[in-house]
Amino acid sequence: MADATRPVRRVLRVSGIVQGVGFRPFVYGRARALGLAGHVLNEGSDVVIDVEGSAAAIARLRSQLEADSPPRSDIRAVSMEEHPPLGRSGFSIVQSVGTHGPGRRLPPDTATCDACLREIRDPAERRHGHPFANCTDCGPRLSIVRDAPYDRSRTTMAAFALCPACQREYDDPTNRRFHAQPIACPACGPRLSLLSESGAPCSAVDPLAECARRLLAGQIGALKGLGGFHLACDATRSSVVAELRRRKLRDDKPFALMVANLEAAEAIAELDDAARALLCSVERPIVLVRQRADASLPDSLAPGLERIGLMLPYTPLHHLLLDAVEPMPLVMTSGNRSDEPMATDNARALEELRGVADFFLVHDRDIFIRVDDSVVALLDGAPSVLRRARGFAPRAIELPHALSIPTLGVGAQFKNVFALGEGTTALPSSHIGDLDTRAAQEELTRCYDLYRRLLCIEPERIVHDLHPDYASTRWARELATRTGAELCAVQHHHAHFAACLAENEHQGAALGVTFDGMGLGADGTSWGGEFLLGTAADVERVATLAPLRLPGGDAAVREPWRIALGWLHDAGIAPSRVAALSTLEPTQLERVSRLLHSRTLCPRASGAGRYFDAVAALLGLTLVSTFDGQAPMRLEALAHRAEARLPPYSFAVSDAWPREVDLRPALAELVDDLAQPLPRPTIALRFHDTMAEVIRVVVRAPGATRTTRTVALSGGVFCNSLLTERTLSLLRDDDLTVLVHRRVPTGDGGIALGQLAVLAARDERGASALGRSDAGTTGGKEPAGGA
């Protein structure tokens, strides 16, 4: 029988998010308490624990690793090997080893912890008022990392030598800053500076206090934060908000607000327990919440919308600033001109935001990776990420199937996110944004190069959208030519569907309802109101919404009244019956009416989002859109004000395959409602209920769910919580399992994950058609053949 007291030696390797989260100090404390000897270190992306002592104590250590690890860590795997004991005494943290193996993970930036917050507010503490306080439980991570393993020398904090007091904390195993890499204090930096509009230094003894004074006086400031610059101003003064809009060239797109604390948030928004928990979470995202009716806020913050984006401070700088201006809420919007990436370095901010900001609050800690604020909504009582960035990225998402080779998914044109994949692990980037500008495209290339190097993944295959004119598609082709990587494509709505399956860890068949604005279909036409039956590997188009005319092509997306005019034309309804269209110039109507008969200048698209655009125009809400999603967002906001709920409008579903949903009967009834006149909110709600009923009827149609009882909802239209929750209710009443997005955006921010999920499913199945542009997506001819 083995001697239970005889020392043994084990080497444990812990994988996941285990660097930059206080994991080594945690191991150090537990090992010492258990009387174990050895050491712990970062090695590549892992933490390696070389430990010896009794087998029982080592078993307890391993159990504690998996059951009681630091709150910011995310353990994916723990392996253990036996080795001969060395007879060591004592336990230590040793120098990291910078190996370049696969499997690296980067920790996200996290909000200021309660302990650091108490310090910066306590005059007796040496970090009182310090805007860069942090510890192993909080502070910058992804935004400052230059290389892995995660050590101070490989971050932008390397420029700041530790003062003696900070060095003692860093070396003290009993201190919560033990081996905290971004550790900082007033003596060793970083430091704030206040600059004028021209970039000249301002003579301010306390830059932060002077910044607060100027904001209270109605000025607009550019503030360098954690992952980039914000533009900030008094959110209660309509004249200041209007001036920010004029300077930033942002007509109507809503501004996010930052308030000092939960009490201040309760004063302006309707919060339930789920919203409070989200606001106070370590991710500290922008949370979409309903504004209180008695809140003294100008309508210009979110024109025509019922929800506002609200967040709490997430850095010491923000806490100190909001404390100084409390109870005033601040507009806190991205530091850029319209459609450009957010500025991150001081020189670029001074150049790009000159004429927008009245002053600049900057600091001397470099931001290595731009990180936007995340946006989260509450859907069916639980969080649903709409923009995945600070606090969430680049956390890994496990794929249900394994990729055979390292793969890059380049995402889509809008709300771009790319994703690197290896094995069963997908690593989506932080939000990049729309790729319409050269600056945005350069940002995509720069971020990819950083992630590739930091995560140590060299893609051997690149997957892109079918659309040949997407900037992401062109970039994928250029990258493949330069690197020799294999190139393949996945259809847009197939990727939406696969992303929903992947994040829900669903491996089998499902019926995907993929509703968005538009995406190129497998048959070369524009899709967007699709019902796809199949698995992540292969889908069959079983139904679609009837395509709408888009007079003038992209111009119709910017001017939804054009879509409404085309829909009226197809239904044989005179535009004169719609009062909202009477505000247009007769020459405009005549010109667009002529376009309706052009094959080249009036394409058709089945996008569900285009139907919402058209109804918003018919109700006079949005004749011209100034940002993506404006018309549907206003339509949803109007529907929430309805006082009565009427039965859904009529529609027809064809028997031909794929089935086609004809909504012209709904349009005729909607125009009759306008003529009564029925209250606009009631019409808006009735249309939402109609679209939910369309989904229910198609799902219940013969053959739609012949192989599954699971339905997956994906696509940007499902950012609409009213539509989504109504659909969930109807489908659950039919005893169907319904999957929705929670961890990645339902919109195009989830496309890259879906691209990887499709390739992984085909790899695991051993498919041979990986390079075919239309592989796995059929046009819906019955019976379907799947690639």
In DSSP terms, which residues pair with 310 in a beta bridge? 257, 287
User: Rounded to an integer, what distance in angstroms lies between the CA atom of residue 190 and that of residue 131?
Assistant: 9
Residue 412 phi, psi (nearest 5): -115, -175
User: Rounded to an integer, what distance in angstroms lies between the CA atom of residue 307 and that of residue 635?
Assistant: 12
Task: Please name the residue that has the structure tokens 């939910």.
Answer: 692
Which helix (H) or strand (E) segment holds residue 476: the answer is: helix 471-483
Q: In a 3-state reduction of DSSP, which class is residue 489?
A: strand
Q: What is the DSSP string of 639-683?
A: HTT-S--PPPPP-EE-SSSSEEEE-HHHHHHHHHHHHTTPPHHHH
Hey, what's the torsion of the CAs at 544, 546, 551, 556, to 10 degrees? Answer: -50
Hey, what's the torsion of the CAs at 54, 56, 59, 65, to 10 degrees? Answer: -80
Q: In a 3-state reduction of DSSP, which class is residue 370?
A: coil
User: Rounded to an integer, what distance in angstroms lies between the CA atom of residue 439 and that of residue 173?
Assistant: 45
Which helix (H) or strand (E) segment holds residue 118: the answer is: helix 114-120
Q: What does the pLDDT read at residue 783?
A: 31
Task: Please name the residue that has the structure tokens 């009427």.
Answer: 646
Q: What is the DSSP string of 3-60?
A: -TTS-EEEEEEEEEE-SSSSHHHHHHHHHHHTT-EEEEEEETTEEEEEEEE-HHHHHH
Residue 9 contacts by C-beta under 8 Å, 6 or more apart in sequence? Answer: 38, 50, 51, 52, 82, 83, 84, 85, 86
Residue 770 contacts by C-beta under 8 Å, 6 or more apart in sequence? Answer: 461, 486, 488, 759, 762, 763
Can you give the pTM of this predicted structure? 0.92
Does residue 260 contact residue 313 with C-beta atoms inside 8 Å?
yes
Q: What does the pLDDT read at residue 481?
A: 97
In DSSP terms, which residues pair with 67 in a beta bridge? none
Exposure on the CB side of residue 468, measured as CA atoms within 13 A: 5
Does residue 382 contact residue 275 with C-beta atoms inside 8 Å?
no
Does residue 778 contact residue 539 with C-beta atoms inside 8 Å?
yes
Exposure on the CB side of residue 142, measured as CA atoms within 13 A: 29
Amino acid identity, position 247: R
Q: What does the pLDDT read at residue 777?
A: 56
Residue 191 contacts by C-beta under 8 Å, 6 or more apart in sequence? Answer: 363, 364
Q: In a 3-state reduction of DSSP, which class is residue 425?
A: strand
Task: Tell me the Ramachandran region of residue 22: left when phi exceeds 0, alpha when psi lies from -120 to 50, beta otherwise.
Answer: left
Helix, strand and coil content of the chain, in percent to the nearest 5, comes to 35, 20, 45
In DSSP terms, which residues pair with 397 in a beta bridge? 426
Using CA of residue 381, residue 382, residue 387, residue 389, what is the dihedral sign? positive
Q: In a 3-state reduction of DSSP, which class is residue 409?
A: strand
Task: Please name the residue that has the structure tokens 């970083």.
Answer: 190
Q: What is the DSSP string of 702-735?
A: TTTTTT-SEEEEESGGGG-HHHHHHHHHHHHHTT
Q: What does the pLDDT read at residue 787?
A: 24
Q: Which of 433, 444, 414, 427 is nearest to 756 (CA)?
A: 427
User: Rounded to an integer, what distance in angstroms lies between the CA atom of residue 45 and that of residue 105?
Assistant: 6
User: Rounded to an integer, what distance in angstroms lies between the CA atom of residue 390 and that of residue 421?
Assistant: 20
Burial readout 622-643 (b: 16 or more C-beta within 10 A, e: otherwise): bbebeebbbbbbbbbbbbbebe
Using CA of residue 554, residue 555, residue 561, residue 564, what is the dihedral sign? negative
Amino acid identity, position 459: P
User: Rounded to an integer, what distance in angstroms lies between the CA atom of residue 105 and that of residue 102?
Assistant: 9
Hey, what's the torsion of the CAs at 237, 239, 243, 249, to 10 degrees? Answer: 90
Does residue 451 contact residue 429 with C-beta atoms inside 8 Å?
yes
Exposure on the CB side of residue 643, measured as CA atoms within 13 A: 2
Exposure on the CB side of residue 478, measured as CA atoms within 13 A: 9
Q: Which of 503, 434, 494, 501 is nearest to 463 (CA)?
A: 494
Residue 261 burial (C-beta neighbours within 10 Å; 0-12, 13-18, 19+): middle
Task: Tell me the Ramachandran region of residue 361: left when phi exceeds 0, alpha when psi lies from -120 to 50, beta otherwise.
Answer: beta
Beta-strand ranges (E) seen in 58-156 are: 74-83, 91-93
Average pLDDT, consecutive stretches of 10 residues, N- to C-terminus, the chain (787 residues): 76 87 88 95 88 95 90 87 94 76 75 97 97 94 84 92 96 86 94 96 94 98 97 98 95 96 97 97 97 94 96 98 96 88 94 96 95 97 97 94 97 97 95 93 93 92 97 98 97 98 96 97 96 96 97 95 97 95 91 88 96 98 95 98 96 94 98 96 98 97 84 98 98 96 98 98 73 47 31
Which helix (H) or strand (E) segment holds residue 208: the answer is: helix 207-216
In DSSP terms, which residues pair with 196 in a beta bridge? 359
